[in-house]
Structure 1
Amino acid sequence: MSKRRYRKISVCIWNDAKFMALSNDAKLIVFFMLTHPDLTQLGALRANVPGLACELGMQFEAFDKGFQEVLQQGIVKHDGKLLFWFPNFLKYNLPESPNVVKSWHYGFNELPESELRNTILVGVKELVDGLSQGFREAFLKAFAEELAQASPNQRTENREQREEDIYGETPSESSSDSGVDLPAEPEPLLEPEAVKGKTKAQEEEEFLTDVAAMYNAILVDEQPEGRKLTKLTKLTDKRKKLIRARMKSDAAFRDLGGWETYFIRVHNCPLLMGDVNAWSADFEWLLNVGNMLKVQEGNYLPAKGKKAAPKPAGGSSVAAHNEDVFADFVEG
C-alpha cells in the first residue's frame, strides 16, 4: 500500500527530547521518510540509504550522518540493507475498518524478507490485539500464513525494541505502544480457531467486498475534501457482475493487488478525480470494460508538461493540497 498520500504525525513530536536532539538534517530526513510516497500503511519502506539521499538531493555523507542520528535515537529501524520501519507509525495511523487491516497484507508482501520484517509482523499484531474483534479477525485471516511461520518468542523480543515513543510519550514498562498490557508470557502468534476454512462462494463474496472497500479506501476515504469520488455504500448485483467480468477477462484482477494498482492509476488522473471540471468518475464507470482499458493505457493522464486545470470554486486541486501538505499530515 505504497501510494497513500496523507498520513498523521502527532504535534507531540516537537516535545520529544530525542527528536529535538537531532540536527536539522536529521529532522528533515525523518519527515522525508515519513512522507515518502513509497512508505507502506505499516510505516515500512523498501529503499536504500544512497537512493534516499539522491531523492532528497542531499550529499550522501551528509545524509548518512543525519540518518545515523535517527537510528541511534531509535526513531526508525533499519535491517542494514533495503528495509526501514517506524515502530510507532501505526499508533498515529490506526486502521479505520477491518478491510483496511486486510489491505496491509499487500504492502507487507512487498517487503524484503529479513529479521526486521518478522519484527514488523509481531509489532503490528501487538497493536491490532488492542483493537476490537473485527480488526483482530481480519488481521489473523490476512496474515495467517505469515503468523503460522513466525516464532512466538518474537513477541518478547519485540517488546524490548519498542520501549520509547518518538512522538513524546513513553509507555510504562508493562504496556505496548498501543496502550494494552502485554501478557507475562509469550503467546502463540496464530490462533487457529480464528482462521476457518471458507467455501468458494464465501471466498468470492469476501473478495468482491474487499474490492469495493479498496475503491473506497483509495479514491474516497483517504482523499481530501473536494477531491474524492462517490462513496460506494452498497455492492449491488450489477456491481458484483462488473467485478466478476473484469476478473474473467484479465487475470491481474483476480488478485487484490491488481485492483490496488488500477485504483491508484485512477487516483493519478485529475480528470477522473474531478480536478478538471464538475464531472468525476464513479465505480460503475471505472469498471466498464472500455473505460478501464483507456485508464490502463493512460488516456486520462494529463499531457506531459501540462498541469491539470484547477477545480471550480468550492473544490480544491491536488496541487493546492500539496502546498499545505504538512497541515494535512499533522494530527491536531
Structure 2
Amino acid sequence: MQNNSLNKLFATLFSDSLKYVDQSDNYVDIINYLLLSKTEVSHFPTDDEFAESIETRDAYNMRQQTKYYLFDRLENQDSLERVNVIDGMQNNRFTIEHIMPQTLSSAWKNELGDDYQAIYDRWDNRLANLTLTAYNSSYSNKSFHEKKTAENGFDHSGFRLNDFVKGCDQWTEKELIERSELLKQTALKLWPMPSSNFQPKVVENEVYGLDDDNNYANVKIASYSLMNTPYKLPKRTWKEMYIGVVRALYELDPAPMRQLIAGDRTKLEKVLIDHPENGFSQVADGVYLYTSTDNWNKIHKLRDLFDFYGIDQSELQIEVVSGKKEDFVKRSE
C-alpha cells in the first residue's frame, strides 16, 4: 500500500467507525472490520501476501524510518530485555550488514556455486540476507567463515537476529531460504492479521412508486426503474434521476413534451422550455428541464408529467437508501 493511500485510509478511519458505534461497544472490532473491508489500493494484505512481501521485498532500500521499525521489532520481538535498535541505527552505532556481501569475492562465488550470479541477484537486498551489526566496517566482503568466526564476528554477536547465522557452517541459497522462512514466521507472529466478529446490520433499501404518498425529503436515492427497465445512478442524485426519467419519456414519445413547450403547460408551466437558461438542464435537442428545485417539486412535476402522458405513476419505481421513518415526509394534500 502506498503512503498516500495509507494517509487517506487513516484520515477517514475514525469518521467511518462512527457510523457503527451504536451497533457495538467493541471499538477495536469495528476498526478491524473497516480495515479488512477495504479494497483496491486500501486493501489490507492477507497473511500470504504479507509473507511474500517479507520474503521478496528490497528491505535494504526501504525508507529509513521503516527500516528502523522493522529491524527493531524483528530484533526485540516481545522481549522485555530490549536492545535500543532505533537509537543505535539513528546514531550509526548499529548498521545493516549484508551476510552475502554486496561485492562477491572469488571465495563467495565458489561457496555459492555455479549459479552464484542468479543467487546474488535474487537475494542481495532481501531481508533474509540482512542483519544487524556494530562492526560493519570490519566485515567487508570477507568469506562467510571469516565473518562468522573472526573477533566480533557473528559467533560473538549479541543480536538475536544473528542466532540463526551462528548455527550455519556456510551461507548458500539453502540457508537463505531457511532464514527467509524463519523471518516470515516471526513476522506473521509479530504482525498478525487482524480479525473481527463485527458484522454491520444489513438494512435493505426500500422501493417506492411515484404514486406512493412520499415526497422523499432528506432521503438519498439509490436507483430507479421505469416501465420495468432498471436504471443505475452513478452519482446517486435526484437531479440525475429527474433528467433521466424526463429524457426517457421524451424518447418514448416527444409529441406531448413538444406540446408542453409550445404553450399547453397546465401544471408544468416554466418547467420545460426550448432554449438554455440558468437552472435548466438539457434533456434533448431543444428541450430543457428546470432542475434547480428540491425533491418535493421534482416528484410533483414528475407526477404531473406522467398524468399528462397518460402513464400510470406506478410505472416509476424509486429505490431509496433506507433510513429512519421520520426521514420520509408526507406530502400535503
Compute the TM-score of the two structures, normalised by the length of structure 2. Answer: 0.23
Structure with higher Rg: it is 2
Q: Which has the higher helix share?
A: 1
User: Quick check: which one's strand share is greater?
Assistant: 2
